[in-house]
Amino acid sequence: MSDLKSGISRRSVLKGAAIGGIGIAAGGSLLAGCGSKATGPLAYGARSVDTGPTAQNEALIAAYTAKTENEVNYNATESNAFQNNLSQYLQGTPDDTFEWMAGYRMQFFAEQGLLADLTPVWDTIGDQYDESYKIASTGLDGKQYFVPKSWYPWGLHFRKSMFADLGLNADNVTNWDEYLKMLDGMKKKGLVGFAAGDKGGWEAMGTFDILNARINGYQFHVDLLAGREKWTDAKVTEVFRHWEMLVPYMNPNVLDLEWDGAMQLLLQKKAGSMLMGSWFGGNFKEQSEADYADLSIMPFPEINPAYGRDTVDAPIDGWCVAANGTNNEGGADFLAFAGDIEGVNATLAAKDAKGALIPMTSANKGQDTSSYDAFQKEQLAVMAEAKYITQFLDRDTRPDFAGPVVGPAIQSWFKNPKDVAKIQDTLQAQWDALPPLA
Amino acid sequence: MSSTTKNKTKVPRRRAFSKADRTTLSAFVGIPLFFHLLLVWIPAVLTILLSFTYWSGISISRIRWAGLANYKNIFFDTPAFWEALKNNTVWLGWFGLIATPIGILLAYQIDRQIRGHKFYETAYYLPVVLSLAVTGIIWNFLLRPDGFVNGLLGRDIDNAISFFGNYDINLYVILTIASWRHIGYIMLLYLAGLKSVDAALREASALDGATEWQTFKKVVFPSMKPVNVIVIVITMIESLRAFDIVYIIYGSSAGFPILGTLVFQNIAGEGASMKGAAYATILFVLSIGPIIAYLRTTFKSDVQ
Amino acid sequence: MSIDLNLQAAATKYKNKQKVKDRFISALIGVFAIVWIFPIVWTIWTSLRPYKDVRANGVFSMPKSLNLQNYADAISRMELPLYFANTFAITIPAVFLTLFFGSLIAFVVSRYSFKWNVSLLLLFTAGNLLPAQLVFIPVFKMYITLGKALGIPRLLYDSPWGVVLIHVAFQMGFATFVLSSYMKTVPKEISESAMVDGASVYVHYTKVMLPLLRPALASLAVLMTTWIYNDFFWALVLMSTDSKRPITSALGRLQGEFVTDYNLLAAGAAIAALPTLIVFFVLRKQFVSGLTLGSTKG
């Protein structure tokens, strides 16, 4: 039996990013010495090759180079390849600083000694972040190993124009029954009510997370992922029972579409709603400004009144410094700049190929949320409602369980939704059989 | 055409090799052998040993003995393993009963120089020359929800036939793509072997009034025994080792399990553990039979 | 006499029947051959159509224009020259070393009678058949440990040389086997007379055997180049810097980056496949003879 350490147990309340846009005045930094050292050339590892994030990174690096005259070598890898290679990358020839995710995924590598201690960086920029971000950036030994950059909530995305055509009002879809009625109405119009793609094996985890949190509450969800509750529990059966009610409203080729396939359904107005993280705003914007303006998000409806809509998956992306990099000091110095409001503003000023600003929800308290567009404000609203934040299943539990076990288990459930009991049994058996972490 | 290394017209051995010669010989053998042992055999043995440990692959100091725990986990607690075995078995059956025989028959017909044989030879072999990365892209174009075939059938992205996601058919889809390549490969191997069949035998058989099929069955096929063994061995090994096509299409997602991808998932990536080494060892053990058969057939005359 | 005529008549009847069968077989194979190359043809077709045209009018529309614009875009946007340079940096040394080492072992094993000749052959050939993933972790650890020990972290990991060496180690077996088969067809007398003339082993190899090996080396070079060029696994796992990867490993990333622009992707894939296709069409004879040597003995 395996039990994860307390590093990911009860999270404290996160409200800061939701409310506090007004704090330190944008553009000003009261802290001296943020990214102003000459530390020599350093390497930056990006884990995306998409145009939007690349433009943002280039803007950030340009600002840093202008300020410190330290040369930065930019090294981008496609996301999946980056994740698969991370263990080798960190042991071998990592960049000095690289993009990564918060949660157990980061704590694991810190514990193996592959990440550099960033507590000094937090000493300088720590007050620009809420406590919960600091907790999310802390390793199992109490030191910080991560600097947050941005976050996005998981919620139900829809198009305002489609809702208008259907005579729907997002404010009226607050609980499960209303949501099912909405889906029913969409189906009658020939639309896919709940677009889903799970070819990659991880996309549907978001649905599991939110259903579990809604039905059984935040504490049960966290305990389940940490091994303190059992997958064979009747509560988990309830999750699948509700999920099965959504199946008639899904597209039939769930296992053949990845997340971008489901997004296409929404983009092409073939689907009414999609549960997803809000990172793809940029894709809609690339299509057209009108499409982006049409995009909206609402929290997943309440199921159990005891819990309401108090939990949301909001993974935090950010950076780490690789212990095996050649210039740890440079990496830390860069992050002190990137995490500071100065770096954040440089990132936010980046423009895409069409010359428009690229939306990003920063973790930094200082981000001027008054300049947020409508979609970003809605994301804030989704976050504001939630008392508890989770990082997403594959970041909140053991990596040798999430990808290899839970992923295919959910996929086999899609193949045969009646097999719930068997799937629960194998999940628990495989959790029990996990080898001790070495 | 002597195929033995024993020298019949031996000059009395003045085989006191000079010092220079001995050095040269040692270098000639030693250097390649060094690399081969260092990068192939020693790592293979190490991986097999590692399969009996608990380790995430990162700090050597954290390796702990696990005995048979990884294997127990695989055999008793990992349903994906049995699914993978089933998939590999179907793969083997498909290759062995469908793809390879088609390749052989194609080779035979092309060797007979039926009309258009030059074009056919090129056409069927073309997929073999392509990298599997390119092959994956090509077939993705055809079979994606918004690809050629679904377009032809007039289906949109939301009701497309799910060639890769429908688990009733996707195994056969993958096998078709794999066969696209395998058939050409077998065809060329067999073509090469057919050149060594005595033409006189075939003519005699034709004169006796045998049909081509009978000629093939009774004359040609039996005389190709060494090539037959090679083709069978390659079929088996390719079915066991299969990985590239599935990786290109499914990435590292665990949805379509075969032994090759199970190894990769458990060795690379964040959830790495020595279960991956155990999978690799199982793959190796399953390959031993075909490898020995291959070695036996090929070096029979040398081993005497 | 009449019996002969009867026999001949029977033979002719069979022949005619066979001719009909043959036409049918030829037609069947022909139809299949066209189906066979259709995926490739479709990809090339896709690459010739401009993206905007297809977006506006659909995949099956009649083309308004067919041009090579996608190819130009692919070269500039996908950084193809860089990836091709990486490919050559890996393929050329790997093929050279594989042939070189293979010829050395084949030479010793087929020209001199040592007790361990056969064992060597067995060892190398079996090594060629091992699954690649069986060796990955220890090789990776070796590469970075050596790099760290020598103070050059990128000595073997994340370096073309690391990929070259692993290819050489694995493919050596096949080269050895093919070359030793071939060398067996070279008459013993040539070697004997060289030795009688007092040639050293070194001279025996360089001046006597090597020139005779040219045809086999050529065929083998063609085969090896194709195989090593087409590999994507080793470069994927032994390199962490994307800009150092060869074209085949980079295709994975390009597929992710340009996922919706099929036409551009098709052009990129076509360009990536071009070298092997050229080699295949131009050097087909060598290709086939390489496989011939490899699949049969003597």
Sort strands A192-195 and A154-159 into parallel, antiparallel or unpaired.
Answer: unpaired
CA triplet C275, C129, B181: central angle to 5 degrees? Answer: 45
Rounded Cα distance between A319 and B52, Å, is 35
CA triplet A255, A260, A261: central angle to 5 degrees? Answer: 50
- Longest Cα–Cα distance of chain C, Å, equals 91
Q: Are B141 and B148 in contact (CB under 8 A)?
A: yes
CB contacts < 8 A, A to B, total 143
Cβ-based contacts of A80 with chain C (< 8 Å): 256
Residue C297: is its pLDDT beyond 50? Answer: no
Residue B16: is its pLDDT beyond 70? Answer: no
Rounded Cα distance between A81 and A438, Å, is 24
For residue B115, the distance in angstroms to the closest alpha carbon of chain C comes to 6
From the list B1, B20, B295, the residue facing C200 with the nearest CB is B20
Rounded Cα distance between B72 and A434, Å, is 11
Cβ-based contacts of A73 with chain C (< 8 Å): none
From the list A49, A89, A93, the residue facing C256 with the nearest CB is A49
Q: Rg for chain C (alpha carbons), in Å?
A: 26
Residue A414: is its pLDDT beyond 90? Answer: yes
A233 by DSSP, 3-state: which?
coil
Cβ-based contacts of C147 with chain A (< 8 Å): 92-93
Q: Are B137 and C255 in contact (CB under 8 A)?
A: yes
Nearest-Cα residue of chain B relative to residue A425: B77
From the list C68, C63, C102, the residue with the least C-alpha distance to C205 is C102
Q: What backbone phi and psi angles, to 5 degrees, belong to A373?
A: -80, 180
Residue A8: is its pLDDT beyond 70? Answer: no
Instruction: Output DSSP code: residue A115.
Output: B
Global ipTM: 0.85
- The residue assigned the tokens 């919960």 is A132
Residue B7: is its pLDDT beyond 50? Answer: no
Q: What integer pLDDT is reported at residue C294 of this predicted model?
A: 60
Q: Are B156 and A252 in contact (CB under 8 A)?
A: no
Q: What backbone phi and psi angles, to 5 degrees, belong to A217?
A: 90, 160
Q: Are C129 and B298 in contact (CB under 8 A)?
A: no
From the list C245, B53, A95, the residue with the least C-alpha distance to A86 is A95
What DSSP string describes B195-206?
TTS-HHHHHHHH
Q: What integer pLDDT is reported at residue A427 of this predicted model?
A: 94
From the list A75, A39, A41, the residue with the least C-alpha distance to A57 is A75
Nearest-Cα residue of chain A relative to residue B56: A438
Q: What integer pLDDT is reported at residue C225 of this predicted model?
A: 92
From the list C153, C256, C259, the residue facing A92 with the nearest CB is C153
Domain ranges for chain B: 21-65, 79-303
Note the CATH number of domain C69-295.
1.10.3720.10
> What is the distance in angstroms between the CA of the first residue and the CA of the last residue of chain A?
15
Cβ under 8 Å to A: B residues 118-177: 145-146, 156-167
CB contact under 8 A, B47 and C60: no
Q: Are A197 and A261 in contact (CB under 8 A)?
A: yes
Q: What integer pLDDT is reported at residue A27 of this predicted model?
A: 33
Residue B252: is its pLDDT beyond 80? Answer: no
Confidence of residue B112 (pLDDT cuts 50, 70, 90): confident
Residue B4: is its pLDDT beyond 70? Answer: no
- Tell which of B75, B157, B163 to mutate to test the A interface (max A CBs under 10 Å): B157
Residue B248: is its pLDDT beyond 90? Answer: no
Confidence of residue C2 (pLDDT cuts 50, 70, 90): low
CB contact under 8 A, A78 and C158: no
What DSSP string describes C106-174?
HHHHHHS--TTHHHHHHHHHHHHHS-GGGTHHHHHHHHHHHHHHHT-TTTTTTSHHHHHHHHHHHHHHH
From the list A108, A113, A261, the residue facing B145 with the nearest CB is A261
Please give, one letter per residue, the 3-state secondary structure of B110-157: HHCCCCCHHHHHHHHHHHHHCCHHHHHHHHHHHHCCCCHHHHHCCCCC
Domains of chain A: 14-152+315-366 (3.40.190.10), 154-313+392-432 (3.40.190.10)
Confidence of residue C286 (pLDDT cuts 50, 70, 90): confident
Q: What integer pLDDT is reported at residue B229 of this predicted model?
A: 85
Please give, one letter per residue, the 3-state secondary structure of A137-153: CECCCCCECCEEEEECC
CB contact under 8 A, B70 and A271: no
Residue with more model confidence, B223 or A28: B223
Q: Are B158 and A270 in contact (CB under 8 A)?
A: yes
Kindly tell me the burial class for residue B15, based on how many C-beta atoms sit within 10 Å of its own C-beta (0-12, 13-18, 19 or more).
Answer: exposed
Per-residue model confidence as pLDDT tens digits over B261-273: 999 888 887 778 8
Residue B278: is its pLDDT beyond 70? Answer: yes
Confidence of residue B59 (pLDDT cuts 50, 70, 90): confident
Confidence of residue A23 (pLDDT cuts 50, 70, 90): very low
- Candidates 3.40.50.2020, 1.10.10.60, 1.10.3720.10, 3.20.20.70; correct CATH number of B79-303? 1.10.3720.10
Nearest-Cα residue of chain C relative to residue B210: C14
Cβ-based contacts of B39 with chain C (< 8 Å): 135, 139, 142, 165-166, 169-170
Residue with more model confidence, C290 or C270: C270
Domain ranges for chain C: 2-48, 69-295
| Pure H helices in C58-79 | 69-77
> What is the distance in angstroms between the CA of the first residue and the CA of the last residue of chain B?
17
Residue A21: is its pLDDT beyond 70? Answer: no
Q: What are A170-173's contacts with CB under 8 Å, separation 24+?
A: A170/A296, A170/A298, A173/A298, A173/A301
Per-residue model confidence as pLDDT tens digits over C226-268: 989 998 889 888 988 888 889 888 787 777 777 778 888 889 8
Sort strands A311-313 and A388-390 into parallel, antiparallel or unpaired.
Answer: parallel
* Whole-number Cα distances in Å, A111 to A47, B235, B266: 22, 45, 20
Residue A160: is its pLDDT beyond 80? Answer: yes
Rounded Cα distance between C100 and C92, Å, is 12
Residue B139: enclosing H or E segment and its boundaries? helix B132-143
Per-residue model confidence as pLDDT tens digits over A315-372: 999 999 999 998 999 999 999 999 999 999 999 888 877 777 887 888 888 888 777 8
Cβ-based contacts of C259 with chain A (< 8 Å): 260
One-letter amino acid of A421: A
For residue C176, the distance in angstroms to the closest alpha carbon of chain A comes to 32
* Chains touching chain C, criterion 3+ CB pairs below 8 Å: A, B
Q: What integer pLDDT is reported at residue B14 of this predicted model?
A: 52
From the list A78, A85, A94, the residue facing C256 with the nearest CB is A78
* Chains touching chain A, criterion 3+ CB pairs below 8 Å: B, C
Residue A26: is its pLDDT beyond 50? Answer: no
A276 by DSSP, 3-state: which?
strand
Residue A2: is its pLDDT beyond 50? Answer: no
CB contact under 8 A, C144 and A92: yes
Rounded Cα distance between C245 and C82, Å, is 9
Confidence of residue A236 (pLDDT cuts 50, 70, 90): very high
Kindly tell me the burial class for residue C12, based on how many C-beta atoms sit within 10 Å of its own C-beta (0-12, 13-18, 19 or more).
Answer: exposed
State the pTM of this model.
Answer: 0.86
| Residue A192: strand pairing partners | A271
Rounded Cα distance between B216 and B185, Å, is 20
Confidence of residue B13 (pLDDT cuts 50, 70, 90): low
For residue B185, the distance in angstroms to the closest alpha carbon of chain C comes to 10
Residue B254: is its pLDDT beyond 80? Answer: no
Cβ-based contacts of B51 with chain A (< 8 Å): none
Rounded Cα distance between A225 and A399, Å, is 11
A12 by DSSP, 3-state: which?
coil
- The residue assigned the tokens 């793959």 is B283
From the list C11, C113, C169, the residue facing B207 with the nearest CB is C11
Sort strands A295-298 and A154-159 into parallel, antiparallel or unpaired.
Answer: antiparallel
Residue B5: is its pLDDT beyond 70? Answer: no
From the list A84, A257, A415, the residue facing B269 with the nearest CB is A84
| Residue A351: strand pairing partners | A357
Rounded Cα distance between A14 and A153, Å, is 13
Which of B177-181, C55-59, C68-72, C210-214 reaches the highest mean pLDDT?
A: B177-181
Q: Quick one: average pLDDT of C17-37? A: 85
- The residue assigned the tokens 């428009």 is A356
Cβ-based contacts of B265 with chain A (< 8 Å): 403-404
Rounded Cα distance between A298 and B162, Å, is 30
* Whole-number Cα distances in Å, C277 to A169, A326, C202, C280: 58, 42, 38, 5
For residue A117, the distance in angstroms to the closest alpha carbon of chain B comes to 18
Question: Which residues fall within 8 angstroms of residue C287, CB to CB, at 6 or more apart?
Answer: C219, C222, C223, C226, C279, C280
From the list C46, C107, C122, the residue facing B141 with the nearest CB is C46
- Tell which of B270, B273, B274 to mutate to test the A interface (max A CBs under 10 Å): B270
Nearest-Cα residue of chain B relative to residue A85: B269
- The residue assigned the tokens 């003879």 is C289
One-letter amino acid of B66: A
Q: Quick one: average pLDDT of B57-79? A: 89
* Whole-number Cα distances in Å, B37 to A400, A437, C116, C125, C169: 32, 31, 16, 12, 8
Cβ-based contacts of A407 with chain B (< 8 Å): 253-255
From the list C124, C131, C229, the residue facing B280 with the nearest CB is C131
Residue C128: is its pLDDT beyond 80? Answer: yes
Q: Quick one: average pLDDT of B202-226? A: 79
Rounded Cα distance between C48 and B230, Å, is 41
Q: Are A118 and A146 in contact (CB under 8 A)?
A: yes
| Residue A389: strand pairing partners | A312
From the list B57, B58, B66, the residue facing A435 with the nearest CB is B66
From the list A408, A423, A390, A383, the residue with the least C-alpha distance to A239 is A423
A195 by DSSP, 3-state: which?
strand
Rounded Cα distance between A219 and B42, Å, is 49
A8 by DSSP, 3-state: which?
helix
* Chains touching chain B, criterion 3+ CB pairs below 8 Å: A, C
Instruction: Output DSSP code: residue B210.
Output: -
Per-residue model confidence as pLDDT tens digits over A114-151: 999 999 999 999 899 888 788 889 998 999 999 999 99
Q: Are A224 and A316 in contact (CB under 8 A)?
A: no
Q: What percent of chain A has pLDDT over 70?
A: 91
Confidence of residue A224 (pLDDT cuts 50, 70, 90): very high
Residue with more model confidence, B197 or C294: B197
- Longest Cα–Cα distance of chain A, Å, equals 64
- Tell which of C242, C244, C254, C259 to mutate to test the A interface (max A CBs under 10 Å): C242
Quick one: how far is CA A143 from the chain centroid? 22
Indicate the angle between helix axes C69-77 and C2-48, nearest 10 degrees: 60
Q: What percent of chain B has pLDDT over 70?
A: 93
Rounded Cα distance between C122 and C72, Å, is 49
Could you tell me if B79 lies within 8 Å of chain A, comparing CB atoms? Answer: yes
Cβ-based contacts of C102 with chain B (< 8 Å): 32
| Residue A176: strand pairing partners | none
Cβ-based contacts of B43 with chain C (< 8 Å): 134-139, 142
Q: What integer pLDDT is reported at residue B58 of this predicted model?
A: 86
Q: What is the mean pLDDT of chain A?
A: 86
Per-residue model confidence as pLDDT tens digits over C132-156: 889 988 999 999 999 888 888 888 9
